Amino acid sequence: MAQIGYTDTPFIQGSTYRVHDAARPQPRVVTPGTFSTQTRPGLPPSDAVVLFDGASLDGWLSCKDGGPAGWKVGGGCMQVVPGTGSIRTRAEFGSCQLHVEFAEPKVVKGESQGRGNSGVFLMRRYEVQVLDCYQNPTYSDGTTGAIYGQFPPLVNACRQPGEWSCYDIVWEAPVFDGDRLAKPAFLTVMLNGLILHNRQELLGPTQHRALAKYEPHPARDALELQDHGDLVRFRNIWYRPLTAYDQA
Q: Which is nearer to Mg ion, 127 or 172 (CB)?
A: 127
Site size with Mg ion, rule: CB under 5 A: 3
Q: State in angstroms the smallest separation of the CB of 154 from Mg ion.
A: 19
Query: Are 140 and 148 in contact, with CB atoms under 8 Å apart?
Result: no
Q: Does 205 bind Mg ion (CB under 5 A)?
A: no
Cβ neighbors of 203 (< 8 A, separation 6 or more) are: 150, 184, 211, 212, 213
- C-beta neighbour count of 21 within 10 angstroms: 17
Q: Which is nearer to Mg ion, 138 or 226 (CB)?
A: 226
Q: Which is nearer to Mg ion, 131 or 185 (CB)?
A: 131
From the list 16-24, 32-40, 60-68, 109-117, the region that binds Mg ion by CB under 5 A is: 109-117
3-state secondary structure of 172: strand
For the chain, how big is the Rg over CA atoms in Å?
20
What is each CA distance from 166 to 28, 71, 122, 157, 217, in whole angstroms? 26, 20, 16, 10, 28
- What is the 8-class DSSP label of residue 3? P
From the list 78-86, 114-122, 157-165, 196-204, the region that binds Mg ion by CB under 5 A is: 114-122
Q: Which is nearer to Mg ion, 51 or 146 (CB)?
A: 146
Q: State in angstroms the smallest separation of the CB of 163 from Mg ion.
A: 19
From the list 37-45, 96-104, 182-190, 223-231, the region that binds Mg ion by CB under 5 A is: 223-231
> What is the CA 58 to chain-centroid distance, rounded?
20
Q: Which is nearer to Mg ion, 117 or 236 (CB)?
A: 117
Q: For residue 199, is it left (φ>0), alpha (ψ between -120 and 50) or beta?
A: left
Taking CB under 5 A as the rule, which mask of x and - marks residues 62-101 in contact with Mg ion? ----------------------------------------
Q: State in angstroms the smallest separation of the CB of 34 from Mg ion.
A: 29
Q: Does 119 bind Mg ion (CB under 5 A)?
A: yes
Q: State in angstroms the smallest separation of the CB of 226 from Mg ion.
A: 5
Q: Which is nearer to Mg ion, 132 or 172 (CB)?
A: 132
Q: Does 153 bind Mg ion (CB under 5 A)?
A: no
Cβ neighbors of 20 (< 8 A, separation 6 or more) are: 5, 6, 9
Question: How crowded is the C-beta side of 106, counted as CA atoms within 13 Å?
Answer: 3
Contact positions vs Mg ion (CB under 5 A) = 117, 119, 226
